[in-house]
Structure 1
Amino acid sequence: MEYNQNIQPMASPEIDFDKLKLILRSNWMWIALIFILANATAYAFIRYTKNLYQSSSELKLEVKDEASELGIETMMMEDKNRNLVSGEIEIIQSELFLNRVLDFSAFDVSFFSVGRVLNEELFHNPPATVVYFNKNHSLYNQPIAFEEVDERQFKLQLRDDKEVIGRYAERVKIHDLELILKRNDNFKKGDEIGYFLVINSRSTLLDYLRKNLTAEPLNYNANTIRISFKDYNPYKAQAVLSKIDSLYLQFSNEQKNLANKQKIDWLTNELSQIEKKMEAHENYFENFTLQNKTSNLDEDLKETIIGINKLDSQRYHYARRLADLDLFVNRLNNGEFQLPIMLRQQLPPVMNTQLDALQQLQLEQDKLKLSYQEITFAYRQKAKEIEVLKAKSLDQLTGLRDEWHKRLQEVNQRKAAMEKQFASLPDKNTEFSKNQRFYKLYEEFYLTLMQSKSQFEIAMAGSIPDFRVLAPASLSLKPISPNNMMVAGAGFVASMVFIFFFIGVSYLANNRITGVNELEKNTTAPLLGAVPMMKQKDEGLHVKDYPRSMVSEAIRTLRTNLDFFNIAAKKKVIAVSSTVSGEGKSFIAMNLGGAMALSKKKVILIDLDMRKAKTNMAANESDPSKGVSTVLIRKDLWQECVVRMPLNNFDYLPSGPHPPNPSELLMNTEFTTLLAELKEHYDCIVMDTPPVGLVTDGIVAMKSADISVYVFRANYSKKEFLSNLQRIISINKFSNITTLLNAVPSSGKTYGYGYYEENGSPGKIKSIFRR
């Protein structure tokens, strides 16, 4: 029987469901483990995460603008509502306001219960109330274990320190902390392991408030805001938020009134002082005019005043220089060599260079101090250099100071001369100019302050804050996080995603042949059949030892299917081959020959794998020095090498000793002559060839066969073996090759009518997953 070998196999883009079911069956434990781990992680997160509660309140910011009734333009921006809401939110979240909350609250001491899983704060009903006296102690933010001895006594312990026993309502001291505990008679102990208290520092409480407090605009047009506070204890969240609401209303009103009032009071006081000064100057001007009959000043007086002012500037300049120089001389005597930048700009370059050198020597001395003691020679030498350079710098600075002092004296002399000249002018004119100058300054300052005061008075009169609480702090016993349903759903979805990726990666990474459909789709050779996987390890004559098994029935089916190939041949030569070893080629060849022998045919099995002798055959013991290799070199007759199998009409011709040239032995005429002689004595010749993927011996044997059975092993043979078979068919122009899939996993269904027996039966779990 010939068939068309020109049909090219087409790779199917569809999902191979048989392969997918095999992956699911073989990796069900990993899939179950992924599912369990993902959902267990979600459960652990829910179990070991504290419930977070939130309390919320709503405030309305009413600001009545009455300034427009007076016809006065307000000083607010166009979008005053938005600015008002944003400004109040900043006040609520400011550190100034939060400190005010802490000043009027009692959240500094926290009591906790030690649970078997999580610790819980006993805010609503603690075992005792705590009062501590000294604010400056070292036990802030440290857990202090608490244990009640009886109704009068208790124990306190800090980490692994010694226990301290105290009495309720009496002072007890632990380290540098003094406190008093008052017993709560309403407290009832549960299944807690223990208790501990923590005294929170102010910085910790500020961080706690900032982290959990949220203020956000609710409606800009209505000037409403929502304030919320989060905590692991719902009662504490409500208590803290209630305190924030009440203090905010009071604080906001005080801050607004206090700010404007303080500004107006200060302006009023300053205006009063300036009015008195201006009144004194006005009285002077009036008396001066009456006494002198004039108010004009001479130009000489102006020039003299300008000259004196210039000399005053010079005197201030030299005096400032001398003061800075004296300060630096003192610092230089004390070992400090840093000089003000303004003074260094006025020193000669040589002196600046010496000062830089002195600073460099001091740095070197400091470095030596890190490595040497002060009594060492290097350190003393460096100190001597510093002293020499220091003395030299002091001498130069002293000389410079004398020079500047001399110049200052010269300026003083010049000023004295000008003042003497000025003294000749009328003293009253000088006093008049001075008073006139101060009067103008006071007048300008007075007008500026009056304008500012008017603006603040208008703002204070025009803006009347009227804040109200629309919704008080709520008590929510439903946690906002974690969302158990969402976390559980996320765990389930994550498990499905991980399982999907695991199956996908396993599917793509699996390059093994899994089912007969892959042979049908990817090869042009017809499928002879499939042999199921055995439940036990048996490489002998399975058809004889287990005649009612599914494997034996499958092999008998192969025997029947072979009758449809090359029907005209009465004597058939069958070659059984595979790509590599381990695919069950020899097992199929031996049991196929045994099945033919059971059908009353004379069968001989020839082992042509002369490179690797078989050691697990069911034949009787044979002489290892005789076999196919000795027959082909004409050393022995084939009749002398034949071994009887433990089955009637079934003989076995072993491979014999390993020859150096097995391929050449199969290619000569002796092999053809051997087959011709065997055909005269046997109805069927089964050849167990070497793997064609490793050596070429099998190709030679397949060319001499009437039909070739190419064996693949399920979940063992790689998919590229199919391409190898196609290449063999194409190169050698084979038209008599059939394929067979060996060791196919059982799907739980039996062939035929279900009367086949297997040694042992699969467990219930395996049976379920096989389905």
Structure 2
Amino acid sequence: MQATQPGQRAKDANLFSKLLFHYSPYWPLFLIFLVLSVAGAWTYLRFTTPIFESTARILIKDEKKGTEASKALESLDMLSTKKIIENEMEVIQSRSLLTDVVNQLGLYGVVTAKGSFKDEDLYTSSPLKVKAENPDLIVSAKPLALKLDTTTQTVNIAGTVYPLNTPVVTPWGKMEFSRTRYPVPADQSALQLVITNPRKVTEALQKNLVVSSTSKQSTILDLSLKDPVPERSEDVLNSLLAAYSRAIINDKNTLAANTLEFVEERLKGVEHDLDSIERKIQTYKSSTGAIDVSTQGKLFLENVSSNDQRLGEMNMQMAVLNQVQSYVQSRDRNAGIVPSTLGVSDPTLGQLVNKLYNLELEYASLKTTTGENSSVLIALSDQITRIKPSILENVENQRRSLMASLDNLAATNRQYSSALQGFPQKEKELIDINRQREIKSGIYSFLLQKKEETALSYASTVPDSRTIDKAQSTGLPVSPKKKVVYLGAMIAAILAAMGIVLAKESLNRKIMFRSEIEKLTSLPIIGEITTETSRDPVVIHEDKRTFIASQFRKLRSSLGYIGINTTRKRILVTSAISGEGKSFVATNLAISLALTGKKVILLDFDLNNPSINNKLNIEAAPGITDFLRGEKEINELVLPTDIDPNLFLLPTGPLPKNPSELIMNGAAEDLLNQLDALFDYIVIDTAPVGPVTDAYTLSPFTDATLYVIRHKYTPKVFVERLDEENKIHHLHNAAIVFNGVEPRGFVSKNYGYGYGYGYIHKDNPSRRMKLLRK
């Protein structure tokens, strides 16, 4: 990983500084939003019920993921059905298992205590237990007032008194109320009973239950359940694992019972056939005098017996297939006794039959509590409809295979029958009878063996799963997480405050920031002047050191950036519209230049609205217009000022009717040429460029133009058009002065620029101006 480059660190620091500078003046707004957000987060946490999570772990035998050792052990359990881990995950989350858990734990009847902010679930301390006779018929009810009377052994629910430990009919179903080992609270006014239909409780559990495999190659499942009461989530998971194990055992026991029933029925028939054959042999020997078969006959019986035994086994398999076919075709989505698949070599058939049986069982269970048009019931019906053709197709495939094998065995039997014709008549008849006895004896021995194996498996049935870790709660709530809630609330508060600030500033069509000027125009900004709250238009004095005076001194130094010196001395000051402070800037800039010991003349060339006379307390006198008309000479018009002996003023003079034409008569350039010989600097205050073109006319005769933009006053549209206007009319060597920068946000005396230090007025040392860094 590469180290962060110094340039990138500088950019990050600069971005942070910009953000801090931009938003710090609004700190009270951010503080208010932060306080409100923290209060809101606290309220949310106070009213929200914390959720806990419990986890458990179970090991399942898997058909695809088992080891050779597990397969060897599996052969000892003839009733074990192979598991597919993905299927078992769905089984664990099934409605049938969860409904059993809900009914077992009585989760349909919950006692709560009404609180000021939220209700408290009394699962771990409930003094009352509710047991429904038929939970599926429960009618849900809103919280019901509850009061127990231990003296009379009764309970008052919603104004009706019911006896304890006795089944009673209630508006919510037939129920029995009983006491628990937990004491009855002294104040029962807050006790409530919440009755909910088990189906709704099951749906809620399904949403909060998560079953996942620990890895792709693992047969271990992790179970997690979220609940407001950690003890309840632990009980639900433990009960669910127990119910799952019981379901596996019940399936095995059902299969074993059906197999035993089938075997015993077949044994009875075979026993009867054997008895008949034995009697037939005795009768035949007595009547014919035959004692035994010859050596050749015994050899024939030995050869034919194995073939006959295979015929018997296949006939039994055909009988099983016929039973399965009859079961599938005769059922109408109603669960019955599932037929045994004993002797059938294909395990898929047994799995399909068991799946059909489970689906029909779930269908029959839900049919009693839901309508025929229920989406769940329709989905189950579709699954049953789809699985039946698969079973029938499997049966038909196995039947065809068996028929082919039976045909081969029958052909072999015909060969044996032909060979039997060569024996003497009496011996041939006796051999035929003995052959029938051998067939039945083989079938009888096979059935006895299967009966013992089935009985042994039935007696030692174990589930195909094992609980590794019982359910255990985390102890700490998983939601809401206090740190996350508080952090999220504070982030939201900061973003909301930033949004308000940005919206406020984006809706403002006035220039607010130096950065806006830099984005809208390519002209350089060579100075920033803060707003002046005093009414004195002259802010620079030789005996005072103020912050604004320092800014004008910096502006004076920046003139060198645009080439102003004692040889290039003409400075034109203008703005877009009236009121932006161009005359204020021109006056104080001229004073600042004069304080350096240079001779400076200030020209009030705003022939439409002159104001410098008033700023310098000089009475009206002949001036520029008189020179332009050729009525006066310069030495008759230049006036000294009381501010500084090096500062002189050339007033406007009488206002003309046609100022633009007067400026364009050629005398203006002659005026400036004559002043060049007399003064070190010439500062020209002219009219705004928005309403009139005087500045554009004078600019070619000057060395630099200062374009004044006022904070929160100059419309952005003028700055947006500045570059385009400058290309057309060309303000010579133009630069911008950002004037009247006011405090931002809620902070007083903090400005949108700054040098990181403050200035003290000599005449008022206690007055300090705190500045923000850029």
1:439-458 equivalences under 5 Å are none
**C-alpha separation between the residues in 2 aligned to 1:190 and 1:755?**
77
For residue 641 of structure 1, report the CA deviation from its aligned partner: 10
Indicate how the Cα distance of structure 1 residues 700 and 177 shifts in structure 2: closer, same or farther if over 3 A, else same: same
Q: Could you say what secondary structure the match of 1:104 adopts?
A: helix
For residue 668 of structure 1, report the CA deviation from its aligned partner: 0.8
1:333-732 equivalences under 5 Å are 465-467=461-463, 468-485=466-483, 514=514, 530-534=527-531, 536=533, 538=535, 540-543=537-540, 547-555=544-552, 565-567=564-566, 574-579=571-576, 581=578, 583-595=580-592, 605-611=602-608, 617-618=614-615, 651=649, 653-654=651-652, 659=657, 661-672=658-669, 686-692=683-689, 695-705=692-702, 708-713=705-710, 724=722, 728=726
For residue 175 of structure 1, report the CA deviation from its aligned partner: 6.2
Paired residue type of 2:100: R
Taking structure 2 as the reference length, what is the TM-score of the superposition? Answer: 0.55
Paired residue type of 1:229: L
List runs of 5+ in structure 2 lacking aligned partners.
Answer: 1-9, 63-67, 277-441, 742-750
Paired residue type of 1:703: P
1:18-417 equivalences under 5 Å are 22-26=21-25, 28=27, 46-60=45-59, 80=82, 83=83, 85-86=85-86, 88-130=88-130, 140-146=140-146, 157=158, 164=159, 186-187=182-183, 194-217=190-213, 224-265=220-261, 269=265
For residue 768 of structure 1, report the CA deviation from its aligned partner: 7.9
Q: Could you say what secondary structure the match of 1:700 adopts?
A: helix
Residue in structure 1 matched with residue 754 of structure 2 by the alignment: 747
The answer on whether the counterparts of 1:594 and 1:650 sit within 8 Å (CA) in structure 2 is no
**C-alpha separation between the residues in 2 aligned to 1:220 and 1:548?**
79
The answer on whether the counterparts of 2:623 and 2:650 sit within 8 Å (CA) in structure 1 is no
For residue 121 of structure 1, report the CA deviation from its aligned partner: 1.1
Q: Which has the higher contact order (CA 8 A, sep 6+)?
A: 1
For residue 262 of structure 1, report the CA deviation from its aligned partner: 2.6
The answer on whether the counterparts of 1:19 and 1:515 sit within 8 Å (CA) in structure 2 is no
The answer on whether the counterparts of 1:215 and 1:228 sit within 8 Å (CA) in structure 2 is yes
Q: Cα RMSD over matched residues?
A: 6.5
Indicate how the Cα distance of structure 1 residues 184 and 650 shifts in structure 2: closer, same or farther if over 3 A, else same: farther
The answer on whether the counterparts of 1:53 and 1:231 sit within 8 Å (CA) in structure 2 is yes
The answer on whether the counterparts of 2:267 and 2:447 sit within 8 Å (CA) in structure 1 is no
The answer on whether the counterparts of 1:515 and 1:741 sit within 8 Å (CA) in structure 2 is no
The answer on whether the counterparts of 2:529 and 2:548 sit within 8 Å (CA) in structure 1 is yes
For residues 260-301 of structure 1, the C-alpha deviation after alignment (integer angstroms, 9 at most, x for no partner) is: 313542575589789999999xxxxxxxxxxxxxxxxxxxxx
For residue 666 of structure 1, report the CA deviation from its aligned partner: 1.2
Indicate how the Cα distance of structure 1 residues 544 and 173 shifts in structure 2: closer, same or farther if over 3 A, else same: farther
**C-alpha separation between the residues in 1 aligned to 2:91 and 2:215?**
18
The answer on whether the counterparts of 2:566 and 2:681 sit within 8 Å (CA) in structure 1 is no
Of 500-509 and 580-589, deviating more is: 500-509
**C-alpha separation between the residues in 2 aligned to 1:646 and 1:155?**
101
**C-alpha separation between the residues in 2 aligned to 1:76 and 1:453?**
20
For residue 229 of structure 1, report the CA deviation from its aligned partner: 3.4
List runs of 5+ in structure 1 lacking aligned partners.
Answer: 1-11, 158-163, 281-446
Q: Could you say what secondary structure the match of 1:703 adopts?
A: helix
Paired residue type of 1:584: G
Paired residue type of 2:22: I
The answer on whether the counterparts of 2:77 and 2:457 sit within 8 Å (CA) in structure 1 is no
Paired residue type of 1:609: D
For residues 341-373 of structure 1, the C-alpha deviation after alignment (integer angstroms, 9 at most, x for no partner) is: xxxxxxxxxxxxxxxxxxxxxxxxxxxxxxxxx
**C-alpha separation between the residues in 2 aligned to 1:578 and 1:73?**
100
Paired residue type of 2:257: K
Paired residue type of 1:479: P
**C-alpha separation between the residues in 1 aligned to 2:625 and 2:150?**
100
Of 229-238 and 546-555, deviating more is: 546-555
Q: Could you say what secondary structure the match of 1:466 adopts?
A: coil
The answer on whether the counterparts of 1:547 and 1:553 sit within 8 Å (CA) in structure 2 is no
**C-alpha separation between the residues in 2 aligned to 1:769 and 1:596?**
28
For residues 740-770 of structure 1, the C-alpha deviation after alignment (integer angstroms, 9 at most, x for no partner) is: 44446353645789858599655xxxx4855
For residue 108 of structure 1, report the CA deviation from its aligned partner: 1.9
For residue 125 of structure 1, report the CA deviation from its aligned partner: 0.5
**C-alpha separation between the residues in 2 aligned to 1:644 and 1:615?**
13
1:1-20 equivalences under 5 Å are none
For residue 70 of structure 1, report the CA deviation from its aligned partner: 13
Paired residue type of 2:248: S
Indicate how the Cα distance of structure 1 residues 250 and 599 shifts in structure 2: closer, same or farther if over 3 A, else same: closer
For residue 237 of structure 1, report the CA deviation from its aligned partner: 1.5
The answer on whether the counterparts of 1:620 and 1:646 sit within 8 Å (CA) in structure 2 is no
For residues 165-200 of structure 1, the C-alpha deviation after alignment (integer angstroms, 9 at most, x for no partner) is: 758859999867787866779558699994422111
**C-alpha separation between the residues in 2 aligned to 1:104 and 1:116?**
32
Q: Could you say what secondary structure the match of 2:255 adopts?
A: helix
For residues 517-543 of structure 1, the C-alpha deviation after alignment (integer angstroms, 9 at most, x for no partner) is: 969x965x7x8x635413515462233
Paired residue type of 2:204: Y
Paired residue type of 2:687: P
The answer on whether the counterparts of 2:705 and 2:735 sit within 8 Å (CA) in structure 1 is yes
Paired residue type of 2:118: L
Paired residue type of 1:54: E
For residue 109 of structure 1, report the CA deviation from its aligned partner: 0.8
**C-alpha separation between the residues in 1 aligned to 2:136 and 2:250?**
31
**C-alpha separation between the residues in 2 aligned to 1:17 and 1:217?**
46
Residue in structure 2 matched with residue 288 of structure 1 by the alignment: none
**C-alpha separation between the residues in 1 aligned to 2:257 and 2:138?**
42
The answer on whether the counterparts of 2:214 and 2:220 sit within 8 Å (CA) in structure 1 is yes
Give aligned-pair identity as a percent.
22
**C-alpha separation between the residues in 2 aligned to 1:599 and 1:222?**
89
**C-alpha separation between the residues in 2 aligned to 1:132 and 1:760?**
83
Of 220-229 and 471-480, deviating more is: 220-229
